[in-house]
Amino acid sequence: MAYSNKVIDHYNNPRNMGSFPKDEKKVGTGVVGAPECGDVMKLQIKVEGGRIVDAKFKTFGCGSAIASSSLATEWMKGKTLDEAEKIKNTEIVQELSLPPVKIHCSVLAEDAIKAAIADYRKKGE
């Protein structure tokens, strides 16, 4: 499989790789996927004043899955929750030039964004 340069760049230089303490009140955590399916993504956001001030990821999966989650953290930072929720998997596909067999990686990233936001909102309730 030939990767796009952007996928290779995210793989070699992952942005925002790491973890926040998930019990912290201003942190939202989303974990999606399953080990037997070959990909698991963990996306975390740190929210202050309704805005995502920081984001981190950890991913078990192929290069495209790693790149999709790395890109997601970049895009989420600085956005409000409502704005971040609007990030679409198709935008990730386009940005990373993902081939059709890798579209599920972008879907997983979108799911992870939504799961992290939902987790944060649930904590606030």
Partner 1 sequence: MKVPVYMDNHATTPVDPRVLDAMLPFFTEKFGNAASRNHSFGWEAEKAVDDARRQIAALIHADPKEIIFTSGATESDNLALKGLVEMYREKGDHIITSVTEHRAVLDTAKRLEKQGVKVTYLPVDKDGIVNPDDINKAITEKTILISVMMANNEIGTVNPIAEIGRLAKSRGVIFHCDATQGVGKIPVDVEAMGIDLMSFSGHKIYGPKGIGALYVRRKNPRVRLAPMIDGGGHERGMRSGTLPVPLIVGFGKACEICMQVMPEESKRMIDLRERLKEGILQKLDEVYLNGHPTKRLPNNLNLSFAYVEGESVLMGLKEIAVSSGSACTSATLEPSYVIRALGVGSDLAHSSIRFGLGRFNTEEEVDYVIKRVVETIQKLREMSPLYEMAKEGIDLKTVQWARD
Q: Residue 59 carries which DSSP code?
A: E
Rounded Cα distance, 79 and 54, in Å: 10
Per CB under 8 A, the segment of 45-53, 76-84, 90-98, 102-110 that binds partner 1 is 102-110
Does 113 bind partner 1 (CB under 8 A)? Our answer is no
Q: Which of 27, 67, 72, 105 is catalytic?
A: 105
**Is residue 119 within 8 Å of residue 55, measured between CB atoms?**
no
37 catalytic residue (yes or no): yes
Report the amino acid identity of residue 124.
G
Site string for partner 1, 18-57 (x = CB under 8 A): -x-----------xxxxxxxxxxxx---------------
Does 17 bind partner 1 (CB under 8 A)? Our answer is yes
Report the 10 Å Cβ neighbour count for 91.
Answer: 14
Does 98 bind partner 1 (CB under 8 A)? Our answer is no
Alpha carbon separation from 101 to 1, 76, 107 (Å, rounded): 10, 25, 12
Question: What residues make contact with partner 1 under the rule CB under 8 A?
Answer: 1, 3, 8, 11, 14, 17, 19, 31-42, 58-63, 65-66, 101, 104, 107-108, 111, 115
Active site residue ranges: 37, 105
